[in-house]
């Protein structure tokens, strides 16, 4: 008996069309943004949602954004009665967001003459500074108020006209208002591109048919994942891993998971009970982040051409204890939860799944986004600058294949800022940039190597580092060796002294000082010496 409610060919065409809309939104955002973080590193994500706010298509962008974006759309819909031409903006981690630098915009799409939205389009971009205590808004804060401007769901555009009061309020709280304005304009423009493309689809096929296809696409994603889960052995599989510290106390923080697979139902229960309580530092993750990490791991179980929709989450039951490091309550600081804790959540999920399907799971990758922010006054212009970057590391070795060196993995899918763009945009000189040879774990298949980047400052600046995997090495699997931990060193120009930095710190550097960042390598897979 057929369960399909749409012709398979038509459904495939709709899937490709919806995906292409999200991709085109991303291309428009990238082309028109001002900051290197968005234009060069592509630290953004775009998605299309149906009239009920369910994600039906996602661009090939940032996993940490995409799995959590539905909660932002849900928050915007709940808080605001959206009208044609409106655009909602938000970044509040406790109202659908992730961390404050990630600003989300949501635009409702109305059919001609319609009174309620038939679709929504949304994008999220990481802004290089949103104010707060530290330049770049990614430092070792102890409460969310210190991390930057906090935007509850509100309208930044009404009836197609930008609300200047809202825009001016946002820009008044940041260090680089001109760059922020350009990036916010780019986000609004990308939403308009998505709206236009959705309306073109509606004109071609009709709203009712698009809605039916959207329902079927969600159902199809669900069926695909349940089919994969039915292939797995029933049982409980647990794992744990550790964050080095929270940036305040020098004490490891535990993340533990128990995965229960029920092949009969094609269902998965994920429970983080036993994980550390929320902490004083900035590595707390909100529930949206934990859900996003689960979404990413589930998506990895499917073929590359499987539709990335919210239907993937239907077989999942998530237990994330409130008040824990994986489901923090306000006013906890959360800047690092989005970038560091999300990676460790993926690590424990993968480690647990390796006990169920060892032939499908890679060893641990670098496990840190190695966030570096540098802010100060550019002597070339006399204006403030704020540089932000996540540094790539080694990919864990895979069953049957070595890991890749110097690549962004898991919850980040961004790029490294090219040397030319870095030196053009900021008062820096890049003195070294290359692979960190030998940092990947040995094994039947070898883990990828991390990176080394040395940057000489051409102006006095404030530097913050938010990184992990300084104490706990990226794990190997099936007898493979662990990868090498990361580190960062400052060479002082006045004294010639070299100082190794803590993974989470803030310091003031002088013109001529050199910052060297060495990122972790990935773990190895399989015992070394066995035949490949």
Cis peptide before 37 (omega within 30 of 0): no
What integer pLDDT is reported at residue 60 of this predicted model? 83
Comparing CA positions, the residue from 294, 293, 255, 261 lying closest to residue 273 is 255
Tell me: the pLDDT tens digits for 234-256? 999 999 999 999 999 999 999 99
Tell me: the pLDDT tens digits for 411-456? 988 888 999 999 999 999 999 999 999 999 999 999 999 999 999 9
Asked if the structure places residue 486 within a domain, the reply is yes
Cβ contacts of 493 within 8 Å, gap of 6 or more: 510, 511, 512, 513, 514
Asked if the structure places residue 195 within a domain, the reply is yes
Question: CB neighbours (10 Å) of residue 257?
Answer: 28
Comparing CA positions, the residue from 487, 495, 478 lying closest to residue 442 is 478
Q: Which two tokens stand for residue 460?
A: 């006095």
pTM for this prediction: 0.95
Residues of the chain with pLDDT under 50: 1-4
**Beta strands per DSSP E along 321-460:** 371-378, 383-390, 428-436, 450-457
Asked if the structure places residue 415 within a domain, the reply is yes
| Rg value, the chain, Cα | 23
Tell me: the pLDDT tens digits for 192-219? 999 999 999 999 999 999 999 999 999 9
Q: Which two tokens stand for residue 264?
A: 């009969």
Asked if the structure places residue 300 within a domain, the reply is no
Q: Phi and psi for 183 in degrees, rounded to 5? A: -70, -40
Asked if the structure places residue 248 within a domain, the reply is no
Q: Which structural domain range is residue 130 located in?
A: 8-221
Asked if the structure places residue 349 within a domain, the reply is no
Evaluate whether 195 touches 107 at the Cβ level (below 8 Å): yes
Number of structural domains the chain divides into: 2
What integer pLDDT is reported at residue 64 of this predicted model? 80
What integer pLDDT is reported at residue 112 of this predicted model? 86
- DSSP state letter for 265: T
Domain end point (choices 170, 192, 221): 221
Element (H, E) at 147: none
What integer pLDDT is reported at residue 61 of this predicted model? 79
Total residues belonging to the chain: 532
Domain end point (choices 221, 241, 272): 221
Asked if the structure places residue 332 within a domain, the reply is no
How far is residue 364 from each of residues 261, 292, 394, measured CA to CA in Å? 22, 18, 9
> Looking up tokens 């350009």, which residue turns up?
182
Asked if the structure places residue 253 within a domain, the reply is no
Domain end point (choices 221, 252, 267): 221
Element (H, E) at 335: helix 335-336
């Amino acid at each position: 008996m057929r369960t399909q409610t749409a012709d398979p060919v038509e459904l495939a065409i709709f899937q490709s069309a919806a995906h292409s809309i999200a991709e085109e939104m991303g291309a428009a955002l990238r082309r028109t943004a001002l900051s290197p973080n968005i234009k060069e590193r592509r630290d953004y994500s775009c998605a299309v949602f149906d009239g009920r706010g369910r994600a039906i298509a996602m661009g090939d962008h940032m996993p940490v954004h995409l799995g959590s974006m539905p909660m932002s759309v849900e928050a915007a819909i709940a808080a605001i009665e959206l009208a044609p031409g409106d655009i909602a903006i938000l970044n509040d981690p406790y109202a659908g967001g992730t961390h404050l630098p990630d600003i989300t915009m949501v635009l409702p799409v109305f059919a001609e003459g319609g009174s309620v939205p038939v679709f929504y389009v949304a994008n999220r971009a990481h802004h290089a500074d949103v104010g707060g205590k530290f330049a770049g808004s990614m430092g070792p804060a102890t409460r969310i108020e210190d991390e930057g401007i906090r935007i509850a769901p509100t309208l930044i555009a009404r009836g197609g006209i930008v609300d200047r009061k809202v825009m001016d309020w946002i820009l008044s709280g940041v260090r680089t208002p001109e760059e922020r304005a350009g990036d916010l304009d780019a986000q609004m423009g990308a939403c308009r591109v998505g709206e236009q493309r959705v309306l073109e689809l509606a004109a071609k096929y009709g709203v009712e048919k698009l809605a039916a296809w959207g329902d079927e696409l969600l159902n199809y994603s669900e069926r695909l994942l349940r089919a994969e889960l039915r292939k797995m052995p029933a049982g409980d599989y647990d794992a744990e891993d550790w964050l080095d510290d929270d940036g305040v106390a020098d004490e490891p923080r535990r993340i533990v998971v128990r995965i229960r697979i029920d092949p009969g139902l094609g269902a998965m229960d994920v429970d983080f009970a036993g994980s550390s309580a929320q902490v004083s530092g900035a590595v707390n993750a909100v529930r949206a982040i934990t859900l996003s990490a689960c979404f990413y791991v589930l998506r990895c179980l499917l073929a590359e051409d499987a539709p990335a929709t919210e239907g993937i989450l239907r077989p999942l039951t998530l237990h994330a204890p409130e008040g824990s490091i994986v489901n923090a309550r306000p006013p906890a600081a959360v800047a690092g939860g989005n970038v560091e804790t999300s990676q460790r959540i993926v690590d424990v999920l993968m480690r647990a799944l390796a006990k169920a399907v060892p032939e499908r799971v890679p060893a641990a990758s670098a496990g840190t986004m190695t966030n570096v922010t540098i802010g100060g006054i550019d002597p070339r212009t006399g204006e403030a600058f704020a540089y932000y970057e996540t540094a790539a590391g080694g990919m864990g070795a895979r069953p049957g294949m070595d890991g890749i060196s110097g690549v962004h993995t898991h919850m980040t899918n961004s790029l490294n800022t090219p040397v030319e763009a870095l030196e053009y945009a900021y008062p820096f000189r890049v003195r070294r940039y290359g692979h960190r040879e030998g940092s990947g774990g040995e094994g039947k298949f070898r883990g990828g190597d991390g990176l080394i980047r040395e940057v000489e400052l051409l102006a006095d600046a404030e530097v913050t580092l938010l990184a992990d995997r300084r104490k706990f090495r990226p794990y190997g699997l099936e007898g493979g060796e662990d990868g090498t931990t990361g580190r960062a060193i400052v060479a002082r120009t006045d004294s010639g002294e070299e100082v190794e930095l803590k993974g989470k710190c803030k310091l003031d550097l002088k013109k001529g000082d050199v910052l060297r960042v060495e990122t972790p390598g990935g773990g190895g897979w399989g015992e070394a010496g066995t035949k490949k």
